[in-house]
Amino acid sequence: MSTAMDKRKVALVTGSSRGIGRAIAAQLAREGYAVGVNYYERRDKADELVSQLTQEGCRALAVQADVSKRGEVDAMVKTVEDAFGPISVLINNAGVAGQALFQDVTDELWDRYFAVNLNGARNTIQAVLPQMLHEKSGVIVNISSIWGQHGASCEVTYSCTKHALIGLTRSLALELAPSGIRVNCVAPGVIDTDMARELGGEVLDELVEQTPLGRLGTPQDIANAVAFLASDKASFITGQVLTVDGAFVG
């Protein structure tokens, strides 16, 4: 692989200090991308991942930003591009989630979920898009959820934001296709992360029983799907939602 080609392989993964985002960042780094590992609060986990990847001979950089804040996003993108070059792959993974009865959803909760899950994706896309348009190439992958496709009781706010991400994906893919930029979406099912474990062992056992493949998904399952969509193997795929859920929702 040429040095010029290496320079074009630069990825930014939001919310990648833990869980699904961490697995995605690691997978892309091991496939030859220089990776910006974005974190909001857990600098320790982001630094840990960067150290691990660097020891493996990969290129990675921890970058802090609250993706809901445009100024912080712009600064993050500049930091990554100053270090590695123009971002060619953007993975919008940062998000917040939680359960609440709809009548108990406050303005603050509603606004925060949309600010991070949806506005965060808008902010990062708008920050990297000028360079992608200049290069007439690039890949954007948004991380939605099966709850964004089918809805979930007591998760109305979260489901709304994830459904909106699907609309963003499909519409933006049409807009950017003439410029050679692909936009796709991955919709994870029930994934074995710290967030899922907070539900408790009994609930997780029930979720396993409801999953036809007989297990929870892993962050690596999602990372594999994202890496495929980011690769040239998916060069004719855009505007699509790839559901990775073990047939949980049929």
pLDDT, tens digit, 9 for 90 and up, residues 87-106: 999 999 999 998 899 999 99
Q: Is residue 250 part of a domain?
A: no
Q: Across all residues in the chain, what is the average pLDDT?
A: 94
Assigned domain for 249 exists: no
Based on the residue annotation, tell me whether 158 is a catalytic residue of this protein.
yes
What CATH number corresponds to the domain at position 164?
Answer: 3.40.50.720
- The pLDDT-based confidence of 1 (bands split at 50, 70, 90) is very low
> In this predicted model, what pLDDT tens digit does every residue of 100-133 receive, in sequence order?
999 999 999 999 999 999 999 999 999 999 999 9
Predicted confidence (pLDDT) at residue 199 exceeds the cutoff of 90 = no
pLDDT at 5: 42
**Predicted model pTM:** 0.95
Is residue 185 predicted with pLDDT exceeding 80? yes
Residue bearing tokens 């925060």: 112
DSSP states along 182-215: EEEEEEE-SB-SHHHHTT-HHHHHHHHHHSTTSS
Would residue 13 count as lying in a domain? yes
Q: Using the Cα atoms of residue 187, residue 118, residue 8 and residue 49 in order, give the sign of their dihedral.
A: negative
What are the backbone dihedrals phi and psi of residue 201, each rounded to the nearest 5 degrees, phi first? Answer: -60, -40
Catalytic residue among 33, 39, 40, 158: 158
Residue 35, judged by CB atoms within 10 A of its CB (0-12, 13-18, 19+), counts as: buried
Q: How many domains does the chain have?
A: 1
Position 199 in a domain? no
> Does residue 213 fall inside a structural domain?
no
Q: 206 phi and psi, to 5 degrees? A: -65, -40
Would you say residue 243 lies in a domain? no
Domain that holds residue 186: 3-193+220-237
- Give the three-class secondary structure for 142: strand
> N- to C-terminal Cα distance for the chain?
41
Tell me the C-alpha distance between 144 and 170, whole Å. Answer: 12
Residue of 184, 84, 74, 179 lying closest to 140 (CA atoms): 184
